[in-house]
Copies of this chain bind each other. A is one copy, B any other.
Amino acid sequence: MAPMPSAYERLRAHLRETAVLSSCSRILGWDRETYLPRGATGLRADQTALLARLAHERRTSPALRDLLAEAREACPERDSPRAANVREAQREFERATRIPAALIEERARLTTLARQAWLDARAKRQFGIFLPWLGKIVQLCRDEAEALDPPGEAYDAHLDEYEPGATAKEIEAVLSPLRDALAALLRRVLASGKRLPDAPVRGDFPVEGQRRLSGRVLEAIGFDFSRGRTDLTAHAFCGGMGPFDVRLSSRFDPGFLVDGFFGTLHEGGHGLYEQGLDPDEFGMPCGTACSLGIHESQSRLWENLVGRSRAFWRHFLPAARKEFPDALRDVTPDALHGALNGIQPTFIRVDADELTYNLHICLRFDLERALLSGDLDATDLPQAWNDGFERLLGIRPAHDADGCLQDIHWSAGLVGYFPTYTLGNLYGAQIFERAREELGDLDAAFARGEFLPLRDWLREKIYRHGMRYPAKDLVARITGNPPSPRPLLTHLERRCAELYG
């Protein structure tokens, strides 16, 4: 007879099975975005609700509680993957069990209705339609925070879901200096009077050509199509069902090269992370991405730091010219570089450039934190948004669809999510700076079409560890320094200096 498996082994089996169940849900989510007949939407809601309930039962089961207690007992070594798995599984168990079922149901119900109200409000540019729902969402988030009872402020309870272990105070300590420096840099860019038009990347860019070009780029950066795929959808995303099944999706605009191409590269960065997770740790915390901030650092790194570099296009411009001979015939490398990196305040976050994007995030972080603490009343959000926006970016939205109604997050109950976008930019720049030091002349490698050394380095340093180290410890281990806005600022200052003088 086989020996009785240890508590740790039984814990692993439990976690793995929960992950298998969740991966079924994620396939259904992917299918909803790609191929679901529209008449099947109701059935799909029932399917995902059922799988979510079954997964929640497993995540909060007394059996898991007992396994965790036994495994903690039997796990003395600190810092091992094993200790990290037990530590993080315990953290997730507590999170899952602390929120009462009534709040979970309230969240499901409220976000479904709030989403509808938000869509309506945005279409009609009437904040009033969304206001009562926003109030309820904020109250729900407060109730959840009370149940989770974090040591610090209520906001931390939500932040912890997306960026485990982070606190609002820490985030503020990084975002504050970043905000001031970026606002100053933006003023200098605007004062230069120089404009970098995106005309070179507007024109005739047929979707099939964009798909082929993006596919070549994904292959070059090391996305493994035997363990993943790409499809066309209404919104770009990366669906990860474990390292063996990673599905990217893109949307291409036949008149504009940028959105689809960089959207795909962005999702490709997420995809490399998912494919690089340790398959032996599937379903364990050590086989799960560290945090949203670290995840976003990987997408932003490939999108902005690699994909918008001169070296990258030194290699890919000929291939792009082959696909789009008319549109790109007279475009010089300089004009292309400018078109891809122009800085210009705009109202919509998802269209923002690499610099102003972070100012959008700083504003949302301040506002949602104030909403949760009660310093800002939901009624006053539009005014606060517009004032803050004008202060940071120098322009004022004419209506709320260009302002506080533009993003889906709050209607979906996602409070504490926004800062992970800028954490991603910041971690990405810091990690990339280190990669440049360790890997030699990366620009020369990119210009030769060699991207795999960078991918392999990232796998070694980040992907394969999963949640073994909290995000800020991971960054410190890789770079020798705690997370800092300095590398991102240096990168942006250099790029602006080069482009705007």
Residues of A near any B CB (own CB < 8 A): 17, 20-21, 23-24, 27-28, 31, 35-40, 42-44, 46-47, 50-51, 54, 224-229, 231, 241-242, 244-246, 282
Beta-carbon contact of A245 and B27 below 8 Å: no
Provide the bound-state CA to CA distance between A60 and B30, in Å: 31
* Besides the known contacts A37-B229, A40-B227, 13 further A-B residue pairs in the complex with CB atoms under 8 A apart: A20-B43, A24-B24, A24-B28, A24-B50, A27-B27, A31-B31, A37-B225, A37-B227, A37-B228, A39-B244, A40-B245, A43-B242, A44-B245
Are A244 and B43 in contact, CB atoms less than 8 angstroms apart?
Answer: yes
When distances are taken between beta carbons in the complex, the residues of chain B under 8 Å from A42 are 244
Within the complex, what minimum Cβ distance (angstroms) separates A475 from chain B? 30
A48: nearest chain-B partner, CB-CB: B24
Which residues on the B side are within 8 Å of A50 (C-beta)? 17, 20-21, 24
Distance A38 CA – B43 CA, assembled complex (angstroms): 28
What copy number does this chain have within its complex?
2
Compute how far the CA of A50 lies from the CA of B246 in the bound complex, rounded to whole angstroms. Answer: 20
A24 to B241, CA, bound (A): 15
Residues from chain B with a CB closer than 8 A to the CB of A47 are 20, 23-24, 27
Chain A at the B interface: SS class? helix
Q: How far is the CB of A333 from chain B (nearest CB, A)?
A: 35
How many whole Å from A99's CB to the nearest CB in chain B?
24
In the complex formed, the residue of B with least CB distance to A24 is B47
How close is A487's CB to chain B, nearest CB, in angstroms? 35
Closest B residue to A229 using CB positions? B37
Partner of A241, one of B40, B51, B227, B228: B40
Shortest beta-carbon distance from A412 to chain B in Å? 23
Most buried by B among A31, A225, A245: A245
Task: Give 24 pairs: A residue, B residue, CB < 8 Å, sorted on A.
Answer: A20-B46, A20-B47, A23-B43, A24-B50, A27-B27, A27-B28, A27-B31, A31-B31, A35-B229, A37-B225, A37-B226, A37-B227, A37-B228, A37-B245, A38-B226, A39-B226, A39-B244, A40-B241, A40-B242, A40-B245, A43-B241, A43-B242, A43-B245, A54-B54
Residue among A27, A50, A225 having the largest count of chain B Cβ atoms under 10 Å: A27
A50: nearest residue on chain B (CB-CB)? B20
Chain B residues in 8 Å Cβ range of A245: 36-37, 39-40, 43-44
* CB-CB nearest in chain B for A23: B47
The CA-CA distance from A326 to B228 in the complex, in Å, is: 40
Closest to A243 in B: B39
CB distance from A275 to the nearest CB of B (A): 9
CB contacts (< 8 Å) of A40 on chain B: these are 227, 241-242, 244-245
Shortest C-beta distance, A19 to chain B (Å), equals: 10
In the complex formed, the residue of B with least CB distance to A40 is B245
Complex: chain B residue closest to A244, CB-CB: B40
